[in-house]
Structure 1
Amino acid sequence: MTLRSLIGDWMSPRRATWSAGVMFVGLLLLVIWEMRHFYHSQQQQAQMHTAANAEMVVQWMESALDASRHSLQGVGDLYHLWQAQGLAQQDLAMLLKRQRDSLDVWQDVAVLSPKRELVATTAPLSLSIDESRLLQTLACNDCGPKSAVSPLYREGNNGSPYLLHALRIENSNGELDALAVAWLSPGYIVHVVNQLPLRSGDSVALLDTSARVMVQRSDDQREAESLLGKVVSTEQLNAFLDSSVLSDSWVRHSPLDGNQRLFTGRKLKTAPWLVIVGENTTVYLHDWWRRFWALLVGSMLLLALGGLTLRHYRHLYVAEQALREHRNRLAEEVTARKKTQQASELKAAQLKIAAMAFETHLGMFIADANNRIVQVNRTFSEITGYSEDEVLGQTPALLNSGRHDADFYRVMWRQLNEHDRWQGEVWNQRKSGDIYPQWLTISVVRNDAGEVTHYVATLSDITQRKAAEEEIHQLAFFDSLTGLPNRRLLIDRLEAALKDTQREGHYSAVMFTDLDNFKTINDSLGHYLGDALLNAVAERLSGIVRDNDTVARLGGDEFVVMLHKLGVNHQAATHSAEAVAQKLLKTLLEPIDVDGHVLQISGSIGITLFHSDGEGVSAILQQADLAMYQAKAAGRNALRFFDPTMQAAVIDRAQLEADLRHVIERQELTLFYQTQVNAHGDVVGVEALVRWEHPSRGVVSPGVFIPLAEESHLIGPVGGWVMETACKQLAQWARDPSTEPLSIAVNVSPNQFRQVGFVEQVETVLARTGANPQRLKLEVTESLLMEDLAAVCERMEQLRELGVRFSLDDFGTGYSSLAYLKRLPLDQLKIDQSFVRDVLEDPADAAIVRTVIALAHSLELEVIAEGVETGAHRDWLYAEGCMAYQGYWFSRPGPVETLSL
């Protein structure tokens, strides 16, 4: 055999070139397969990221709408209560305002008649309600849902955007009684969307079903704000809107800013809205492009190396042909050596190709037909902690965590045998013992005869994805500070408990717990210690209740405890609830050490029991809330059970407050005057006392309506009317020489005195009425002096410059201090009637009065005693040096025409 024939039988240069080309094409195909797989992997991760963010926003919005729906049901309860009580329209508006203020997502709320006419509202008069198909559909008894949420509306052509959430209020026959309509706050929705953590290039938008932008957030926030109300129309978005699926993903250039993104859309189940979250393709494909260029450069280098090798091979082949006749044996040896070298190079190239395909970012292992592992890649070892030597010859059962039973693996093997493929989520165990979730894909490899030769598995660690899902669940249902259930989860559990009580007939209880004076601690020591205190309280409350009970935090310092299944006997259930509440109060009283600060707090608890009597969740929570406020009013560190009379009292108070807002325009206020006399019995002045003649209630006690005016911020108008009326009387008396010297004392509350512009208000009244300012005496109480004494003194000095005089009322009942008495520009001290009344029988009261008189004399102040009811009182006071008096012994309060001047 010649050298030419030997080499020709082995491989000619053409065949070598062809073989190298095949190997290079094979390598190129493997690189393309790897890059395609990596591309889809990166896109899948981006899709998971956008889907998780979209789901988070949907959960937040669903939670807000759920709270809105429950509050609208509460509006329905208030409307029926309002109807039953036969109250005025403004009473319902007052109740609606309180309901609105309890929910951040509401901007305003209204009640409409079945004909969609306005019954009551908290909205400004200029705000009109859109006559939309939303309200028309709800008004229909047989053709619509119970509640509905609107798309984006606008006031007129270019007005402010707004959203509506409406609910049917039905009577006992299921017929429409009214419509409850809430204006949802766009600002709150923007706040919710802004909570979403976005990466560079990400975007998020909230659209309605007309593809109109409600909220849009991206890197350029100024541009995002200009997109409000813009209609976005793309082929993929329109197809998603027309479909019945809740979630979909697509890639396209954004119609808003032109950037190409992967978008994930998620529809809300309870509203005609959808959330669109996008991730910039240049961001999530950054690693793909880096790997692409690296592989491209490597392939080009490999191609160049192969070309050089082939060129060298051709030179050797020609040399062998030239020497075939002269060195036959040498040529045979060289040919044999060359053949061996070529085979080695070919095998090395094949191994390199296989290694590149095997070393992906996914963990991989190959098992033989007996399910024994024969090869793993580096990523497998990084994920599991096992080296290749430790797993070769072992079965994949080495990784089992014990969380899956035999049925799980039986189903897996059945699918592998039937379909040659299985994929799913598996909990496996690392070498360290840690149990973790992974996504596992197994493929079956068969030979030409259909027999199984190998199993190829890929796996990825999905711990971070599971953590993200858990975080979404935690944010949606649990309080971020304490980890306790939030309002949404509490309502879910309350609804479930209601179904249990209706089915089994047992009692359960809800306790509203509010910490006393928490705001003072939070403001004085800082929010960090306040948060730590709330966490400590949450742990204590959770440690007292049973496992099937619920402790939730609604926000601030408000906690709710739900006690489940307290028994079928009402009295026994009441005792059980009271016993738990007493334990809660006791544990709250125990000192709490927070970072070296030993804090002492207490709580007020309101309790209501619920049974299978058809009460709703909103009504139960309102009852417990009312009982809690009753406990606070009882002095705190107390518990109270809900009493139906509480609701009546709240309604009555709201009615009284509504009437108080109109007392001036209805001219229901009048001034009574009680004379003040000197030691000779001469009248030197009067005190003005306001009275309210209610058209249906009769005379309302000042002890009732004055505190109400303080709390409802109506003391300004009422006090202003008293000041104006008293000054008019002074001006009238000034025209008669016999009454010109008389002064009028007017009570001024701390809130009225602190109002901005109070000095200017008094100056204006004096100028308008023409009253002599030296005849006007303002009576202030000691509580005014407890805050910012310097500012109080400055304001009093400004009034003194006008000629106004001051009397310190009820002296001795508050925080009496010589320091502020010396600083204040006072003219008179007024001894409180509580001391004067028992001065003849109680030595302590007598000693106090003597001290006040002596103090006034030492400070060169006038002193007057009120509550002088007998001549003996007057004589005793005169003997002690008090020369001015006021009380029933001289005259009772009455209209000006009844005075004996």
Structure 2
Amino acid sequence: MHLPMYACILPDLSYQFATQEYLGMLGWQGEVSGVPLSKVHSDEVLFELRHGMMLAHSQGTATLSWQPFVEDHTLWLQLEICWNPVAGLYIVNAMRTGQAAGRMLARNPEQGLFDYTPQAVMLLDGDNRIYRVNPGFSEITGFSFEDVVGQGPGIVTNRDISAEMFDHLWQQLMHRGFWEGELWNRHKDGHSYPAWYSLMAQQDESGEIDGFVAQFSDISSSYGDQNRYSHASYDVLTGLPDESMLLDQLNQQLLRDSLGHRGRGLILLHLDVSEGDSGQLITALAARLSAQVRETDLLAVDQQHNFVFILEECPDEMTLEQFAERVATLLQDPVDVDGQAILFDYAMGGVLVENGGISAELMLDRARLVLSTPDSHNGFRLYDAALGSGTVLSRDTLSQGVSEGWLQLRFNPVYSLQGHHLAAAEVSLTLNHPQQGILSPEQFIPQLSRYGLLQDYHQQLERQLLPMIRLWSGFEQFHNLCIRLQDEELFSADVIEHLIRQMVKAGIPPQRLMIILNFVQLQLFPDEIEELKARGVLILLDPQQHSLGRLSPQLFPDMLLLNADLVEQQMRNDRYVRDVEALISMARDHDLEVMAEGVRTTGQMTRLTQQGCLRMSGKYVGRDLTLEQLIERLDLEH
């Protein structure tokens, strides 16, 4: 029996708790509560763990392969890291996985494990061609080594599975290094059977992918057992199935749908509530929403504490829309929290799938994409292909975009009410996709990083920004260019060094370059940010309701950012007025300026001015400008 290996990690990068099995795996003796991660792990191991925590904080959950001891090449774990915003901590679950065996198989295929494992194993080269199989492969598939050598894995998989599902699988394999799930295989005699796959990408010493390991087993005998692959896990707050259980059950349902030619619907419901109210409100709503689902349907909670409805026998969009209307009507009634009637905004996105053919993960990703559109706010929108997604762009598409002029420089003007002039601008290099339209950097930079294209992107940023740097000295009142760095860019911020070099050549001091960061980034990347500060770069920080009192001088910000959510929320709810005024007061105590972003109305501008914020960006100040438009406006002011 495998005992659980899990731990809880606080945002200050220290352990709060860990099971004995987790500590035993690490070889740690004694109490771990309050111990910094840096004392438990080496720098290289800590780097991987921090990266996973960063992804979990931004996405809700992250899964990665982890080697806790660099010197021990045999111990590989799968880490599932979840960010719990209610408790304010990271939950790390460590499991020995099939990927670990896959690595051993690829490195030492002559070992008995390769020959005698009951699973089928395929070893593939960098061109995705089979070069070795084990006896279990022939026993399960009916194909001999001679039948498949030099072939792609499609010789054993069922070709009726949609290309879209394989594209999603491939993206996961490229991004995360592995993928697990169910696929249908085709036996040599022609019959189809369900298989449970573990796929893993192999990397050479330089980090380039040079091959793949595919393991699978025939699960026909247990296919009818609903609990075979269910984690049977439930959300602590609501008692509803959690995301892990949701994905297990939905994948099984989609597989059955592909055989029975049925439709299935998914609705994702996000509640726009403050962190303080979210736990009680979600708990209260869970019972109310449960009454809306049929016995054949499923209500679950994902990692971000969004509600997820799975509707069985959903033949068309009208059925999905009618259900969404019932939920919307229910959400109009206030919820009692500590004797106070709470009204809240929400967003709903729906996905309809006919005849299966895609994974549960992709179905949920599509619904999350819908939530990012304005139409879903206090309403309901269905997914359609025209929405696109920055999260599923292929390497070829991104490479084409970087090299063929899809990248466009944009400047979001920052206006000073004190001097009544354009004082700064936020720089972004967007991607103008032929079908999806303008994509912001946060939508595609994670993929650029995973595909090794981030350096090319930064070279384009430097090249397109160079004309502005050369003209900058002529605009004395234009103080700062601001760049919002994504987490992936903080791992290696060479682009900042290159920009500083160009600025110095043009006679511009480095202090006129400002980096926009949030407090979580400050915690996760202290060394990298300290190095940027040492080069003279200024920091514009979104404190995210944290105090600045415990920050070291090397990490102390030069200006505070009032984010667009607070700017908007304080106009609708007096509770957020206190948050805004607390931030401005904190800035005043430390003799810092405040910049408010996302200002779009006269009312917002007036209130912010009364509160003491005199630097703003947003549609009220002006829309995004091209380089030519920015220079033209600066010429008029000067």
Q: TM-score, normalised by structure 1?
A: 0.34
Higher helix share: 1
User: Which one has a bigger Cα radius of gyration?
Assistant: 1
